[in-house]
Amino acid sequence: METPTRNDNSNLPLAGIRVLDITQVMAGPFCCMLLGDMGADVIKIEPPKVGDSTRHSMGFRLKGEDSPGFLALNRNKRSIALDLKNPEHRDVLYALVKTADVLVENARPGVAARLRMDYETLSAINPRLVYASISGFGQTGPWAQRPGFDLIAQAMSGALSATGLPGEEPVKNGIPVADLGAGLFATYGILSALLGREKSGRGQFIDASLLEAALGLSVWETTELWGTGKSPQPIGSANRMSAPYQAVRAADGYFVIGAANQKLWLTFLEVVQRPELNADPRFATNASRVSHRVELIEELRPTLAERTVHEWVEALLAAGVPAGPIYNYEQALASDHVAAREMVMNIPHPVEGSFRALGFPVKMRGTPQRVRHAPPLLDQHGDEIRRELIEAGLLPASSKRTAS
């Protein structure tokens, strides 16, 4: 899907909302990009000369100096470089705060206060400001000052202990669920606070963390702990609540099945021609199948090995049993369905020419999202943003850049 860059956002849901993005790496930039996709004017405030550290991450590049990781997380934003330790640059921040609806930062707890950009300071300037802090472990508690990364949050939330194969070394979720989850939960908090502001007239402080995102997504695992008194153990691709619901091996490789209720289980047995398994007390109910998951898969192994992945998937789908092949990302992104859902798009860029990116994962039928700004070059919009503040009377006409 070719996606032209257009600056008009007047019909998008968050048109007229200004977001100050003082974040780096993943959780915060992801949160602010989602807001930008919905029409918010997102101003990315970056350290001079170096910018967001993700600009320099990853071991590969396209054409320019910014990493593909940075490009993936920073569309629909404008960039200004400010040294927030510099009083003159901090004055620019304060001027921006007067115009802003939302500010998102992801410094370690206490850093914002030292830079005089904490919620108490900024809400005195703009009481309607919704201020979101994203950190590793939250603003309070004995772990608050620990550095936080996705891997650490997965480990200390319990998520890492329940991922992978029994008896093997720990395996983290390949998708950074703590980072991206924190960005999503922060977005949820921000949008809720904006709605609440319509009633109260005031903004509020939002405290989101990677640890709590990983915990918040652990609804099955914590249920198992509290229901059985035992911490969940790794079970590979299987499901804690249903069986068979996992990857299984066919004659030429693995595929996945999801016989997640009794009706689907009985239909599944018809397709694989093993109706006698339902008479086995170990497999007669979902609860018993979950308890005897390993034995169940062993019973099915020789039967499933008789046909190919394609044959089993086609037969199961024809009978209404959820099943699917296991694609790698190249295969998934090349599929007709992903194309039909417009989940790959080309974004024009001043250095790259254009680059491929994931499309919008939520479709808005009445106000479809669009790319209005390519991921910005460092300080690309610094002069433009200062000029806007001067024209609004929020900075003196004599204001000039002191560093960039």
- 179 catalytic, yes or no? yes
* 77-81 β-sheet, strand order: 77-81, 41-46, 18-22, 102-105, 130-135, 205-209
Q: Say which residues have a Cβ less than 8 Å from residue 226's Cβ, sequence separation at least 6.
A: none
User: What is the identity of the amino acid at 130?
Assistant: V
Residue 9 near residue 37, CB atoms below 8 Å: no
Give the number of other CB atoms < 10 A from CB of residue 213: 27
Given the residues 83, 179, 207, 252, select the one marked as catalytic: 179
Query: Which residues are registered as beta bridge partners of 375?
Result: none
Report the distance separating Cα 27 and Cα 299, nearest Å: 43
Q: How many helices (H) and strands (E) in the chain?
A: 16, 11
C-alpha 56: how far from chain center = 20
Q: Any idea how long the chain is?
A: 404
C-alpha 156: how far from chain center = 19
Check residue 144 and report its DSSP letter: T
Catalytic residue set: 179
